[in-house]
Amino acid sequence: MVMNIRHWNFARKAVAVMLAAACSIPAAAQTAAPQTPKSQPIPTRTVGLEPGKVIRWTLRDAVIAALEKNIDIEIERENVRIAQFDVESARGVYDLVTTSRIDLNPNKSPNAFVFSGTGDNFVQRDVLTYNFGVQRLVEQGGGNYALNFNNTRTASNVNNFNPQFNSNVNFQYTQPLFRDRKIDNNRRQIKIARKRLDLSDAQFRQRAIEIISRVQQAYWDLALAIRDEEIQREAASLAETQLQNNQRQVEVGTLAPIDVVSAATQFESRRQQVFQAMNAVAQAENALKAMTVEGPNSDFWSAQIVPIEKFDIQEVALPLPDALKLAFANRPEVKQFQLQHEINQVDLDFFKNQMKPQINLVGGYTAVGLGGNPRPGVPPNVIFPEFVGGYGTALKELFINEFRSWNVGIQFNFPLRNRTAKANYGRALETSRQLELQTRRQMQNIEVEVRNGVQAVETAKMRIEASRAAREYAEQQLDGESKKFAAGMSTTFLILTRQNELAQAQGVELRALADYNKAVAELQRVISTTLSSNNIEIRSEVK
């Protein structure tokens, strides 16, 4: 014979009354109900937040805020700007340099020779020098030149001219023929600075992609934490409703008082889970804020962030071979290793060039001019009349170019063993081999990341399907158990168990949805489509 739950409860109470009577124990002592529990309200999160200050964000809003305010991204952006100044600094070696010298040098020395023609026992020379020039290194070919315009004005008691003006123009050019002709240290530094500028730009893009991916992860973590808090509050509300139902049934005598205590215990347990969920929301919100504010004094810290993006399933159908091809073509790390190889190639070219002998072709040209006024007492026939005059005469004679000289020659310089250049070249060769190994290792890491990323998306998608079915079954179980309890065919323990199972199933489904969106974001990172997938264009700062 089958006895239903209600009949069993009735029989159990009857047996208890009979035992109490037999033992002469007052019935009131046997039937006294435990103290009626009272449910406590669940507060909302207020620590560090201003009431009513709410920011509702889409995923793109969070990403844009990070790109504009994230400190790490701004640091990388400054690195690019610093690299730009490094390029300008390296190119500055080829700027035209002007030189000048203005010098006054009075000199009075004793004169012991009576027949010197001065009539004085001293020689007086006051020399004024005013020279001007330009010099420059030539980037094409590695040569250098210097052009100087030199002038002196000499007032003397011994010269035939007083004052006497001397002017000359001198031009010198040096051209390397072997070492330093194709590449020298200056051109090497410019090439390296430009490559490092490209490298810093690639590092900036990599950092931006990483930050965007982390913001996406933090966004979905916050959305998950908020939704999980709602689930825990709903579970606590169900437990509170069950507690109130049990209290009413105890009052009418259809339920034992201990069932009220069981429901109250479960309610308090779920309140604790709500508080833990509230703390998880605060931590997730702070993690997102840390990547989207400009500093610790931002008013943004006191605002509540509410993600409004839905947990939609974005279908991603990307075969593994295509994903690997995209990753190898687009990953900034691949570009960085390529640039490091190019920088090392510049070193190889330079150090190989330094092993050559240094043979320079040098040449020069000089034109001079002379002018002055005869010193009193100097016979006119001892002075050529074309030089009589002032500074203008000296310039005229200079530009007539009658008095000129030139030179051309070869300079040779070569260490007998040249160990420094050979050692530097050998080191550059070993660095090249090391970079090749590092590139291979990076490619392997990228392949592992892409394979894991594709697998994570597929697995997360399957988890969504399974967790959704589990949640639907948990809803059906709770609904059926509630109907059985209303008919007196179930217990409070089973009702509370089904409620817990439903809350867990809802949390698992929500976690699967969040993990799927996070897996998609991670896949976008590993194949380097994060920027394009989020419709973000980062303009290169490389000029």
Is 523 part of any domain? yes
pLDDT in tens, 174-220: 999 999 999 999 999 999 999 999 999 999 999 999 999 999 999 99
Is 47 part of any domain? no
pLDDT at residue 19 tops 60 = no
The residue with greater pLDDT, 354 or 109, is 354
Q: Using 50, 70 and 90 to split pLDDT, how confident is the model at 160?
A: confident
Is 271 part of any domain? yes
The residue with greater pLDDT, 101 or 316, is 101
Q: How far apart are CA 74 and CA 204, in angstroms?
A: 9
Residue 496 CA to chain centroid, in angstroms?
Answer: 50
- What is the average pLDDT across 159-174? 91
What is the token pair recorded at 362?
A: 């040098």
Instruction: Please check whether residue 370 is in contact with residue 165, taking contact to mean a CB–CB distance below 8 angstroms.
Output: yes
CATH number of the domain that 464 lies in? Answer: 1.20.1600.10
Q: How far apart are CA 467 and CA 465, in angstroms?
A: 6
What pLDDT, on a 0 to 100 scale, did the predictor assign at position 33? 46
- What is the average pLDDT across 210-237? 92
Q: Which of 220, 272, 263 is nearest to 243 (CA)?
A: 263
Lowest-confidence pick of 36-50, 369-383, 417-431: 36-50
**250 and 362 belong to one structural domain:** no
**396 and 520 belong to one structural domain:** no
**197 and 300 belong to one structural domain:** yes
pLDDT at residue 49 tops 80 = yes
Q: How far apart are CA 391 and CA 165, in angstroms?
A: 6
Instruction: Please check whether residue 284 is in contact with residue 229, taking contact to mean a CB–CB distance below 8 angstroms.
Output: no
**310 and 249 belong to one structural domain:** yes
Instruction: Please check whether residue 532 is in contact with residue 212, taking contact to mean a CB–CB distance below 8 angstroms.
Output: no
Q: Which of 232, 332, 324, 264 is nearest to 35 (CA)?
A: 264
Is 477 part of any domain? yes
* Backbone phi and psi for residue 95, each to the nearest 5 degrees, phi listed first: -70, 145
Q: How far apart are CA 430 and CA 424, in angstroms?
A: 10
- What is the average pLDDT across 45-69? 89
Is 41 part of any domain? no
Q: Using 50, 70 and 90 to split pLDDT, how confident is the model at 39?
A: low
Residue 84 CA to chain centroid, in angstroms?
Answer: 16
pLDDT at residue 158 tops 60 = yes
**170 and 113 belong to one structural domain:** yes
pLDDT at residue 1 tops 90 = no
pLDDT in tens, 313-322: 777 778 899 9
What is the token pair recorded at 316?
A: 């991603």
pLDDT in tens, 404-441: 999 999 999 888 888 999 999 999 999 999 999 999 99
pLDDT at residue 18 tops 50 = no
**If DSSP codes are grouped into helix, strand and coil, which group holds residue 141?**
coil
pLDDT in tens, 461-487: 899 899 999 999 999 998 998 898 888
Q: How far apart are CA 420 and CA 398, in angstroms?
A: 47
Whole-number percent of the chain with pLDDT over 90: 52
**410 and 433 belong to one structural domain:** no
pLDDT at residue 24 tops 70 = no
pLDDT at residue 98 tops 70 = yes
Q: How far apart are CA 500 and CA 503, in angstroms?
A: 5
pLDDT at residue 90 tops 70 = yes
**365 and 388 belong to one structural domain:** yes
pLDDT at residue 16 tops 70 = no
Count of other CB atoms within 10 angstroms of residue 52:
7
What pLDDT, on a 0 to 100 scale, did the predictor assign at position 543? 53
Residue 332 CA to chain centroid, in angstroms?
Answer: 12
Count of other CB atoms within 10 angstroms of residue 136:
16
Q: How far apart are CA 527 and CA 529, in angstroms?
A: 6
What pLDDT, on a 0 to 100 scale, did the predictor assign at position 448? 96
Is 42 part of any domain? no
**318 and 198 belong to one structural domain:** yes
For the chain, how far is it from start to end, CA to CA, in angstroms? 92
**71 and 192 belong to one structural domain:** yes
**435 and 334 belong to one structural domain:** yes
**297 and 392 belong to one structural domain:** no
What pLDDT, on a 0 to 100 scale, did the predictor assign at position 159? 77
Q: How far apart are CA 207 and CA 209, in angstroms?
A: 5
- CA torsion 318-320-326-329 (nearest 10°) is -170
Q: What is the pTM of this model?
A: 0.77
The residue with greater pLDDT, 287 or 254, is 287
> Which of 367, 392, 417 is the endpoint of a domain?
417
Q: What is the overall mean pLDDT for the chain?
A: 86
Is 543 part of any domain? no
Contacting residues for 434 by C-beta, under 8 A, at least 6 apart: none
Contacting residues for 14 by C-beta, under 8 A, at least 6 apart: none
Number of independent structural domains in the chain: 3
The domain of 167 spans 93-187+358-417
**529 and 435 belong to one structural domain:** yes
Is 539 part of any domain? no
